[in-house]
Copies of this chain bind each other. A is one copy, B any other.
Amino acid sequence: MYRTHNNGELHAADINKEVTLSGWVQKTRDKGFMVWVDLRDRYGITQLIFDEERTPKDVMDRCSKLGREFVIQVTGTVIERVSKNPNMPTGDVEILVSKLTILNESLTPPFTIEDETDGGEDLRMKYRYLDIRRNPVRENLIFRHKVAIEVRNYLSNQGFIEVETPYLIKSTPEGARDFVVPSRMNEGQFYALPQSPQTFKQLLMVGGLDKYFQIVKCFRDEDLRADRQPEFTQIDCEMAFVEQEDILNAFEGLTRHLLKEINGVEISEFPRMTYDEAMAKYGNDKPDIRFGMEFGELNEVAQHKDFGVFNQAELVVGIAVPGGNAFTRKEIDKLIDWVKRPQVGALGMVYSRCNDDGTFKSSVDKFFDQDDLAKWAEITGAKSGDLVCVLSGDKNKVRAQLSALRMHLAEQLGLRKNDEFAPLWVIDFPLLEWDEETERYHAMHHPFTSPKPGQLELLDTNPGEVKANAYDLVLNGNEIGGGSIRIHDKKTQSLMFDYLGFTPEEAKAQFGFLMDAFQYGAPPHGGLAFGLDRLVSILGGQETIRDFIAFPKNNSGRDVMIDAPAPIDEKQLEELHLRVELNK
């Protein structure tokens, strides 16, 4: 037996007990005649004391050889500390060691195993197993486990059944790129790894399972943007005999439960906002509503003056920056430079200072008088001391730009508080979105999403206007979940595939099994999937999902610790009937 206790549980009540502990050497302080060692494990730190007078000589000798991260086992007596440490759960006691075994030695680790480490990102990823020894990383993994088990128990108690759907499925060119898996037993054929269990969960509804969930890995072979992973985890859910309202209520319940159990936060309401409203008010389909700064549309009051920039714009729109009049000219110039960066892409920014005396001072005083500027302030909700920032241009572009500026400023002003939670349903998403590249409409959510009742007819005349029974759950400016009511009859599904450019043969080859299933009594159904990585990181008050994944991949999709992917044996390729043909 390696231990009688862990390193986080000994207290004053244990004084005089003989105990055996195991763990890692966090640090040693050697005064010659007396040595203190901090012994660490997952549960905490316990101080060991080795003392020339009371400790056997051989133990003293071995003790002097201990280095950082050595793995040791000690036996000793719990004694009261002379100088107690009230900041440590075990700070009242220390162990007077009588027996010491070195279980394993350690090279000097490449970075310090401390909350604030000296190791850079790359080094920490290569030695992830050492990074995980650090409290913040370990705590994140434990936090993730807690969230997952809360999710499972909550949904299970609500009658949801977790069903494992297959990982080796079929590739479909629709949507993002699949990872494929060559089949050795079926020559020249491939499985694909699921981008989500979408069709399977729908089939489970056809199968009468009524309420399904699964915490499940999903895979997308996309070029990785920052903080995207080729494999990611979803809380995947589906319900039968439901309307949108039933689903919103069910998952409001889950989210409310998590915020309460995990964060101790009671949420009174989950506001609902249409996609159109979110775009108009926040320029964004996942607005952070923890702070105001809502958009004010200024076309009526800012156009038809002599300012050509505004007159030619489809949309003139502003926000009030609280306390922004305090910005120096230099700070405002920096903001202007910021919105002009290619990542944001604005051509410039107009501003109006709201002075304490009720007057205004704008960057376009030549074209707008005090009355005009007063209207800007009124429409954007600016008060004395604020700054009105105005962008103009093509509606969709300028909304995205102003949204970026709004988030940037909120970050800068400390308005995005980690311990404040503001969930929001965004509903009535468009069914289709225009793809510039292929010059075609694509399904915004996926081809199984149902249009709002009576809107199917609009497909031919005004496809961009068709609204879907689709919804996203937004938390603090992040989409944490999204879903829809599905199509459940073959006719509508065929029509949708047809509209999305599938030939009947393609639709049959790829989704024939689903359309067949719809012919045998498919119930109305719908669902939702949460991104677990994102959800956990937001509940944890952070925004980097990588910090909540045990073994993440880097931006090239590589695991730098195990060095994967890697070439494989010629023999393996042969068995798979494959040849690699590298680009020259």
Chain B residues near A131: list those with CB within 8 A: 207
CB distance from A180 to the nearest CB of B (A): 6
Known: A145-B161, A166-B553, A521-B71. A577 touches B566 (CB 8 A): no
Q: Is the pair A243, B517 in contact by a Cβ cutoff of 8 Å?
A: no
Considering only residues 204-228 of chain A, those with a C-beta below 8 Å from chain B are 204, 206-211, 217, 219, 221, 223-224
Taken together, the copies of this chain in the complex come to 2
Which chain B residue lies CB-closest to A199? Answer: B562
Q: Is the pair A577, B567 in contact by a Cβ cutoff of 8 Å?
A: no
Option from B40, B199, B208, B561 in Cβ contact (under 8 Å) with A133: B208
Could you say which of A89-97, A188-196, A368-376 contacts chain B?
A: A188-196
Binary contact track A24-35/B, C-beta < 8 Å → 1, others 0: 100000000000
Known: A163-B550, A565-B189. A517 touches B104 (CB 8 A): no
Q: Is the pair B219, A568 in contact by a Cβ cutoff of 8 Å?
A: no
CB distance from A144 to the nearest CB of B (A): 8
**Does A558 reach chain B (CB closer than 8 Å)?**
yes
Could you say which of A122-130, A263-271, A282-290 contacts chain B?
A: A122-130
Q: Is the pair B109, A185 in contact by a Cβ cutoff of 8 Å?
A: no
Considering only residues 531-584 of chain A, those with a C-beta below 8 Å from chain B are 549-551, 553, 556-559, 561-569, 572, 575-583
**Does A165 reach chain B (CB closer than 8 Å)?**
yes
Q: Is the pair A557, B185 in contact by a Cβ cutoff of 8 Å?
A: yes
Q: Is the pair A106, B163 in contact by a Cβ cutoff of 8 Å?
A: no
**Does A252 reach chain B (CB closer than 8 Å)?**
no
**Does A153 reach chain B (CB closer than 8 Å)?**
yes
Q: Is the pair B190, A568 in contact by a Cβ cutoff of 8 Å?
A: yes
CB distance from A229 to the nearest CB of B (A): 9
Option from B40, B164, B578 in Cβ contact (under 8 Å) with A580: B578
Q: Is the pair B1, A243 in contact by a Cβ cutoff of 8 Å?
A: yes
Q: How many angstroms from the CA of A561 to the CA of B206 in the assembled complex?
A: 14
Considering only residues 175-190 of chain A, those with a C-beta below 8 Å from chain B are 177-190
Q: Is the pair B193, A181 in contact by a Cβ cutoff of 8 Å?
A: yes
Q: How many angstroms from the CA of A120 to the CA of B260 in the assembled complex?
A: 49
Where the two chains meet, the residues of A that have a C-beta atom closer than 8 Å to any C-beta of B are 1-3, 6, 22, 24, 40-43, 69-71, 103-107, 109, 127-133, 138, 141-142, 144-145, 148-149, 152-153, 156, 161-171, 173, 177-193, 199-200, 203-204, 206-211, 217, 219, 221, 223-224, 230-231, 233, 241-243, 245-246, 488-489, 512-513, 516-524, 549-551, 553, 556-559, 561-569, 572, 575-583
Some 20 contacts from A to B, beta carbons below 8 A apart, are: A42-B210, A71-B523, A105-B521, A106-B520, A128-B203, A132-B208, A132-B209, A138-B208, A164-B233, A164-B549, A165-B551, A169-B562, A170-B566, A180-B572, A185-B224, A186-B558, A187-B583, A188-B582, A189-B567, A199-B562
The 8 closest A-B pairs by CB, nearest first: A132-B207, A106-B521, A170-B564, A189-B565, A2-B241, A69-B521, A183-B565, A42-B210
Q: 20 additional contacts, CB 8 Å, given A2-B241, A185-B221, A577-B582?
A: A2-B246, A42-B209, A106-B521, A128-B207, A141-B209, A142-B161, A145-B156, A148-B162, A149-B152, A164-B233, A168-B179, A168-B557, A170-B564, A171-B568, A173-B572, A177-B575, A185-B224, A190-B567, A578-B580, A578-B581
